Amino acid sequence: MDDIEDEEDRLISQGGAGIPIGPDGVPRPLLPPIAPQHVGRKCLVLDLDETLVHSSFKSIPQADYVVPVEIEYTWHNVYVIKRPGVDNFLKQMGELYEIVVFTASLSKYADPVLDRLDVGQTITHRLFRESCYNHKGNYVKDLSQLGRPIADTIILDNSPASYIFHPNNAVPVSSWFNDPHDTELTDLVPFLGDLGEVDDVRGVLDGAR
């Protein structure tokens, strides 16, 4: 047990596990090489559930869309509502950043939700539960495995457990369920616009929690 805890403390102190190495000895980062149109941009990692949208298996009368998802050979309707301001937020961030959605959800749920959400195709990459690092039962999004400079990587997430390895890269957001008057994404646009210009995001986000 002590060995496990020592390993976890080491991962937290060193900022993640680093880029995975394949069986052939070749590094296998979670993301492909950066596309030419994104060279020089920072990487903005966005959570999905309770950050950009809220989903429920229970019927939501005002749902923005309904996505059928197959779970254990049975189809279920997932009702999705969009956080206020999310469309404009994605559009504006897509002009400034390389956008990655990194969710602890399964792809068979998250992919169709993102297909409906990302009509402007501003999200460059999608990462799902299998790309998370299991840490004490939490799905940690280990930014050191992405293959992007950590000084240029920002994570926006409502769950502090998601970014436990990289607290100084995080922009915390409150969990959103259905408040129609929420303005958090809209309020973050100017801050994230400025953050895209700094040399090392960790110097700005240190202690932002």
Whether 47 is catalytic: yes
pTM of the model: 0.94
For residue 176, is it within any domain?
A: yes
For residue 136, is it within any domain?
A: yes
Q: Which of 3, 6, 9, 49 is catalytic?
A: 49
For residue 134, is it within any domain?
A: yes
Residues 194-207 have a mean pLDDT of: 91
Relative to beta strand 74-82, strand 43-46 is unpaired
- Residue pLDDT, tens place only, 100-109: 999 999 999 9
pLDDT of residue 12: 85
Contacts (Cβ under 8 Å, ≥6 apart) of 28 = 19, 20, 21, 22
Whether 209 has a pLDDT exceeding 50, the answer reads no
pLDDT of residue 3: 63
Quickly state the pLDDT bin for 190 (edges 50, 70, 90): very high
Q: Which of 2, 3, 47, 115 is catalytic?
A: 47
For residue 144, is it within any domain?
A: yes
- Residue pLDDT, tens place only, 31-85: 999 999 999 999 999 999 999 999 999 999 899 999 999 988 999 999 999 999 9
Quickly state the pLDDT bin for 115 (edges 50, 70, 90): very high
d(CA 48, CA 137): 19
- Residue pLDDT, tens place only, 129-173: 999 998 888 999 999 999 999 999 999 999 999 999 999 999 999
Whether 49 is catalytic: yes
For residue 145, is it within any domain?
A: yes
For residue 209, is it within any domain?
A: no
Lowest mean pLDDT across 61-65, 113-117, 194-198, 204-208: 204-208
Give the structural domain span for 10.
2-196+200-204
Distance of CA 101 to CAs 2, 3, 86, 106, 162, Å? 34, 33, 13, 12, 13
Quickly state the pLDDT bin for 9 (edges 50, 70, 90): confident
For residue 167, is it within any domain?
A: yes
Q: How many domains does the chain have?
A: 1
Quickly state the pLDDT bin for 11 (edges 50, 70, 90): confident
- Residue pLDDT, tens place only, 124-136: 999 999 999 988 8
The mean pLDDT of the chain is 94
Q: Which long-range contacts (CB under 8 A, 24 or more apart) does 189-194 make?
A: 189/88, 189/89, 189/92, 189/93, 192/44, 192/93, 192/96, 192/97, 192/154, 193/92, 193/96
Quickly state the pLDDT bin for 7 (edges 50, 70, 90): confident
CB 31 within 8 A of CB 126: no
CATH number for the domain spanning 54: value is 3.40.50.1000
Residues 187-198 have a mean pLDDT of: 97
